[in-house]
Amino acid sequence: MFAKIREPDSIETYIESPEKLKKLYKRVLFVVSLSQIFGGAGLAAGVTVGALLAQQMLGTDAYAGLPVALLTLGSACAAFLVGKLSQSRGRRIGLSTGFIVGGLGAVGVVIAAMVNSVLLLFASLLFYGAGTATNLQARYAGTDLASTKQRATAISTTMMMTTFGAVAGPNLVGVMGNVATSMGIPSLAGPFILSAAAFIFAGIVLFMMLRPDPLHIANKIAAYQQQNGKSTSSDTQKADNKKGLAVGATVMVLTQIVMVAVMTMTPVHMQHHGYDMADVGLVIGFHVAAMYLPSLFTGILVDKIGRTAMSIAAGVILLLAGLFAAFAPNDSLLMLIIALSLLGLGWNFGLISGTAQVVDSTEPSTRAKTQGKLDVLIALAGASGGALSGMVVASASYDVLALGGGLLALLLIPVVIWSKKSN
């Protein structure tokens, strides 16, 4: 009640003082970035050992892609719910709830490994996916108060901070495995202990510190501008917005399918060729670093040279990743590192350029809900890639999977060229 009484005065202050609004924008970026450090660490378990844990519990490779498929399916449901909750209650409530649910899911995975329950494992992975969805949706929070020329940079700033946790996580696989063993828990469940703590802490950071809520401020500012004739929305602009949403969604969906499919089966592929968990952690660490570390420069490039050029670059880089992975000698750790690094970089380019396009094409009054719906498509794309990846490798080979993913990524080029010609 107190917040509702104070908010109108606060809104007027931000409207009248661009300097104070700029200060709030920077504070929001800091808080979201802080949560992303912990959220990034929470991602590590599902990415690095999810497939291996399922392989161990099921005794077959054919369904090793199911963990990623399930957590991304859970991510799809969570993306919709977090987006809807954020639209009605603000980013603070939506994002903090999503992270905490993801943390509880990670706890469930640990329990499932202890009691050797495949059913509980699968159910828990669905909830764990909420943390993944929330970590991805947090990138939007930084754009609520950003100008058009700052949006990609804002997205990339929060994503870059994810690097610190996301790179540390895979490299702590061995350590957390030892910790789990010392507690009488299967070693492959160890990274999920880290995930539980990281996701829950990320949720607490957002709940305690994301005040005032940036989406509420953005909505009030947009309403004020409309009332004072400073904002218009013509039929042409609405048509362009629909086209922008379609293109942005396509870019993100295709990059997600390719990245998840190849990434999911890389640890299994490596294990079959004699690599140990330290090698797997190293390769995935480089991959995750390439997903997030270049973000700040990517955002600047997207804002400077445009969404279209960077989307095309994403397709080309993902093709190169597929070629390196497909033709790498089985005993070459370096080639796998290069392939997975390129895979992460291509995903980075595609996600940031696609996200910027989506933010450009939405209004604050419906932004969070629309973003949540689009992230459902991204999550479902990841679920499809994860589920099919194991089947492709079981029926053909890892090389076929990698090469097919690279060729699929080339579809980005005609899509963005079509959007350019249509304008």
Percent of the chain with pLDDT over 70: 89
Give the start-to-end residue ranges of the domains of the chain: 2-422
423 vs 166: CA distance, rounded Å: 38
State the Cα–Cα distance between residues 72 and 125, nearest whole angstrom: 9
Task: Find tokens 């919709």 and name the residue.
Answer: 80
Residue 60 confidence (pLDDT): 66
DSSP label at 189?
A: G
Residue 41's pLDDT is what? 82
Kindly report, residue by residue over 81-91, the tens digit of the pLDDT. 999 999 999 99
pLDDT at 92: 94
pLDDT at 12 over 70: no
- pLDDT above 90: residue 346: yes
SS3 content of the chain, % helix, strand, coil (to 5): 85, 0, 15
The mean predicted confidence, pLDDT, of the chain is 84
Instruction: Record the tokens describing residue 295, joined without a space.
Output: 């973000």
Kindly state the average pLDDT of the residues 365-394. 84
Distance CA 311, CA 290 (A): 16
Rounded CA separation 310/155 (Å): 14
Phi, psi of 117 (to 5 degrees): -105, 110
The residue length of the chain stands at 423
Q: List the single range of 72-76, 247-251, 369-373 with lowest mean pLDDT.
A: 72-76
The DSSP symbol for 330 reads T
* Confidence at residue 414, expressed as pLDDT on a 0 to 100 scale: 85
Closest CA to 350 of 287, 414, 282, 259: 259
Decide: 346 and 337 in contact? Cβ < 8 Å.
no
Residue 219 pLDDT > 60: yes
Single out the residue of 152, 46, 135 nearest to residue 82, CA to CA.
135
Res 96 pLDDT > 90:
yes
**The predicted structure's pLDDT at residue 237:** 53
Query: Over 80: is that where the pLDDT of 202 sits?
Result: yes
Mean pLDDT value across residues 328-334 = 86
Q: What is the pLDDT of residue 325?
A: 92
Q: Which one has a higher pLDDT value, 319 or 194?
A: 319
pLDDT of residue 176: 83
The predicted model gives 24-41 an average pLDDT of 89
Q: Write out the two tokens for 372.
A: 């949540």
Res. 198: pLDDT tops 80: yes
Cis before residue 267, ω within 30 degrees of 0? Answer: no
* Residue 5, pLDDT above cutoff 60: no
pLDDT higher than 70, residue 238: no
What pLDDT sits at residue 196? 92
The C-alpha atoms of residue 47 and residue 284 are separated, in whole angstroms, by 8
Residue 35 is predicted with a pLDDT of 92
Q: Which CATH superfamily is domain 2-422 in?
A: MFS general substrate transporter like domains (1.20.1250.20)
Task: Tell which wins on pLDDT, 296 or 196.
Answer: 196
